[in-house]
Structure 1
Amino acid sequence: MRDVGERQRSILALARSSGSVEATDLADKLGVSIETVRRDLRVLEQHGVVRRTHGGAYPVENAGFETRLSERTGARLAEKRRIAQAAIGCLADASSVFIDEGFTPQLVAEALPADRPITVLTASVPLAAAISGQPHLTVILLGGRVRPNTLAVVGASVTAMLGRYVVDLAILGANGISLTHGLTTPDPAVADVKTQAIRSSRRRVLVGVHSKFGISSFCRFGELRDLETVITDDGLPLAQARRYQDQGPHVIRA
């Protein structure tokens, strides 16, 4: 039987690769009791790397850990698609849109309507590649250093370029959304880009699954009051959504 440390590392790896884990499934895979798994999850939560749920847990992105883009694409896909569709409803008459790095913002970009021209600014290489063939879209990829985990560009050249524009709408993502600490992300260079996107936009909409709420990462890039709308899935309890809405933005549970 594997030792405790090895077992807990396996649980964390499974949580990060799939987006969430169930205690019963872990017990079967690891050949241990459900109570043993629950103890392991409690330890991992104390270390700040997972957040427990009823029956399982999901990984927490913190200052020392950030999932790769490839690991995000398969997690909570149905919820992310609903969030993206709800975000399209916030476009109004916007003709220029900044769309953040990350898989959920990319789903928003791929769902942009084809009935009018839209200029899209982004720091995400995969996003730009995914939509650049659309004839109704003008895609501007901001230039800078490419981060290997997310294939997004960062650096002073990105923020300077973005600072030359005034965009109608910014679609933003975050690693953490907290009543206490606002909008956060692990990497300072990423935070700089997001902060500039807030400054350069007339309206801001944040998209993110419910597991990001109540989480605080290393670098703050904005406050809830900076946002017009927050769009998440219905896994966020209604009472909690109301507490976020009390700080300024309209909260949509898609």
Structure 2
Amino acid sequence: MKNITERHQLILQKLKEQGRVGIQELSDLMEVSGVTIRKDLKLLEDKNLLFRTRGGGSITNPYAVDRPINEKEFINSEDKQKIAKSAATLIKQSDSIMIGSGTTVFELARCLHPTKLLTVITPALKVGLELSNRSNVEVLQLGGLIRPNSSSVAGSHAMRVLDEISCEILFLGVDGIELDFGFSITNIAEATLNQKMIETAQTLVIMADSTKFGRRGLGKICGFDQVQYIVTDNKVSDQTVKMIEDRGVKVIIA
């Protein structure tokens, strides 16, 4: 049986090699209890040497940060544009869609040029402004308290409108996609609104670049059983794609 120093060295070595470690894996490897491993991970986290996750530890922060939208729009912008163009092909003959908040779904609004009338429902001010004078687009802007970080509304006013409408496809951006936790964002108020939007739509399309996989936001919006499509970039591993598609979700690589 290894002493505490040897255990900590081995945990950090495994993290360097793999990026993530699991409690059960470490427990079996070092022949100690899961309780001991949890204490080791806590001590190492206190020293800023790792991040604890559900069932283990990670060398990178698995929790998404609520950055302002004007900062997010410059992150992976090329991938987001490709994702938007691929997502737009799912609209086909739809006459009503909903677009959530975030920089990836905003790129979808930018590339929308329908040949027949399309109603777009959105809580995002930037989406509404982008589409307000676009040919063949009718915008239903949800109202409520505007969050500065996202330039999107949340709250009871928007929820009441959603009680009385339905749409064919909902396009949502997320801050985290985790196989155990599902899909999440960093703000609770917006998470509640997103849950309501999901109830309103017949088809749910998640638009997220590869940096969102393996991360977790504060508020869960749905599980994999509620999602029909994920549109992402080509940096997502084949193994991750297979595990997601095994759950009945179609993954589209932009």
Q: In which range does the TM-score fall when normalised by the shorter chain? A: 0.7 to 0.9
Identity %: 23
How many angstroms does 1:47 deviate by? 7.7
What secondary structure is seen at the aligned counterpart in 1 of 2:81?
helix
Task: Name the CA distance, whole Å, in 2 between partners of 1:152 and 1:226.
Answer: 23
Residue 142 of structure 1 corresponds to 142
- Are 2:129 and 1:129 aligned? yes
Please tell me the residue identity of whatever aligns with 2:88.
I
How many angstroms does 1:44 deviate by? 7.4
The runs of 5 or more residues in structure 1 that have no matched partner are 1-41
Residue 89 of structure 1 corresponds to 89
CA contact (8 A) 2:62 2:216 kept: no
Rate the CA distance shift 1:79–1:45 in 2: closer, same or farther, 3 A.
Answer: farther
CA contact (8 A) 2:100 2:171 kept: yes
Task: Name the CA distance, whole Å, in 2 between partners of 1:129 and 1:93.
Answer: 23
What secondary structure is seen at the aligned counterpart in 2 of 1:109?
helix
How many angstroms does 1:73 deviate by? 0.9
Rate the CA distance shift 1:159–1:79 in 2: closer, same or farther, 3 A.
Answer: same
Report the RMSD for the aligned CA atoms in angstroms: 1.9
Task: Name the CA distance, whole Å, in 2 between partners of 1:148 and 1:230.
Answer: 27
Task: Name the CA distance, whole Å, in 2 between partners of 1:114 and 1:186.
Answer: 32
How many angstroms does 1:112 deviate by? 1.6
TM-score (norm 1): 0.76
Rate the CA distance shift 1:155–1:140 in 2: closer, same or farther, 3 A.
Answer: same
Task: Name the CA distance, whole Å, in 2 between partners of 1:242 and 1:153.
Answer: 35
Task: Name the CA distance, whole Å, in 1 between partners of 2:231 and 2:120.
Answer: 20
Residue 161 of structure 1 corresponds to 161
CA contact (8 A) 1:145 1:154 kept: yes
Residue 227 of structure 2 corresponds to 227
CA displacement 1:198-248 (0-9 Å, x = unmatched)? 100011111000110111222111111211110000010111111111112
Rate the CA distance shift 1:45–1:137 in 2: closer, same or farther, 3 A.
Answer: farther
Residue 103 of structure 2 corresponds to 103
Q: Which structure: larger Rg? A: 2
Residue 244 of structure 2 corresponds to 244
The runs of 5 or more residues in structure 2 that have no matched partner are 1-46
Task: Name the CA distance, whole Å, in 2 between partners of 1:212 and 1:206.
Answer: 11
CA displacement 1:183-203 (0-9 Å, x = unmatched)? 111211101111011100011
CA contact (8 A) 2:113 2:135 kept: no
How many angstroms does 1:113 deviate by? 2.9
Moved over 6 A (4+): none
Matches within 5 A, 1:197-216: 197-216=197-216
TM-score (norm 2): 0.76
- Residue-pair matches, total: 204
Please tell me the residue identity of whatever aligns with 1:248.
G
How many angstroms does 1:60 deviate by? 5.8
Task: Name the CA distance, whole Å, in 2 between partners of 1:185 and 1:78.
Answer: 22
CA contact (8 A) 1:61 1:67 kept: no
Rate the CA distance shift 1:82–1:156 in 2: closer, same or farther, 3 A.
Answer: same
Residue 12 of structure 2 corresponds to none
Rate the CA distance shift 1:44–1:212 in 2: closer, same or farther, 3 A.
Answer: farther
Please tell me the residue identity of whatever aligns with 1:133.
N
CA contact (8 A) 1:144 1:158 kept: yes
How many angstroms does 1:92 deviate by? 2.3
Rate the CA distance shift 1:198–1:43 in 2: closer, same or farther, 3 A.
Answer: same
